[in-house]
Amino acid sequence: MSIFEYNGSALIAMVGKNCFAIASDRRLGVQLQTIATDFQRIYKIHDRLFLGLSGLATDAQTLYQRLVFRHKLYQLREERDMKPETFASLVSAVLYEKRFGPYFCQPVIAGLGEEDKPFICTMDSIGAKELAKDFVVAGTASESLYGACEAMFKPDMEAEELFETISQALLSSVDRDCLSGWGGHVYVITPTEVKERILKGRMD
């Protein structure tokens, strides 16, 4: 079994009309055994920037701690929050530093940039950025997620419709993947508010 599939994970980020949504599954497993059904994969960097980390849970935790540290230092020096594009470049650099001994994570970065324009991107475990205008996916269920998102996505969705779409795409994909699932965690971010919702899916 690949080290990326040791803990199991599923992540999506989708762009809407002046808003974005980021969603993850909630399972923490050790290969075939489920340890917890309330594992947090999406972290808030600041009010308009969210980071999802799929892959090996220990590296996701370490990487998150390192990135929060770097962002806090940036906030102290610059007296402002990082733009999503800048943060994506930071994540890419941090990952490439470990090119020959990498963190086994695939990050998904989603944020609201200048003029409330949503920004999403993903990268592989050594920092190769993949910018997209519509959606990005990561995790053990990524192939199913690509298919589901491609079928369900429409451009310029409002927040409520975006929430429905991302939730359906997540749940239908993780239901076909034994290593991810046990519900979902969905964040929908608009310029004015952040809405966090827990999904109940097939609890297996």
Q: Which residues in this chain contact another protein in the complex, by CB under 8 A?
A: 7, 28, 30, 33, 35-36, 39, 56-58, 61-62, 101
Least distance to another protein, CB of residue 182, Å: 13
CA distance 88 to 9: 20
Q: Is there a contact between 187 and 22 (Cβ–Cβ < 8 Å)?
A: yes
- Provide, rounded to whole angstroms, the least separation between the CB of residue 123 and another protein: 20
Instruction: Give me the least distance between CB of 101 and another protein, in Å please.
Output: 6
Nearer to another protein, 62 or 172 (CB): 62
Q: Give the nearer residue to another protein in terms of CB position, either 84 or 183.
A: 183
Is the Cβ–Cβ distance between 136 and 150 less than 8 Å? no
Shortest separation between residue 35's beta carbon and another protein, angstroms:
6
- Judged by CB, which is closer to another protein: 33, or 192? 33
Q: Please enumerate in sequence order all residues whose Cβ is within 8 A of that of 101, keeping only pairs 6 or more positions apart, or say none.
A: none
The CA–CA distances, whole Å, from 147 to 12, 133, 144, 150, 175 equal 12, 16, 5, 5, 13
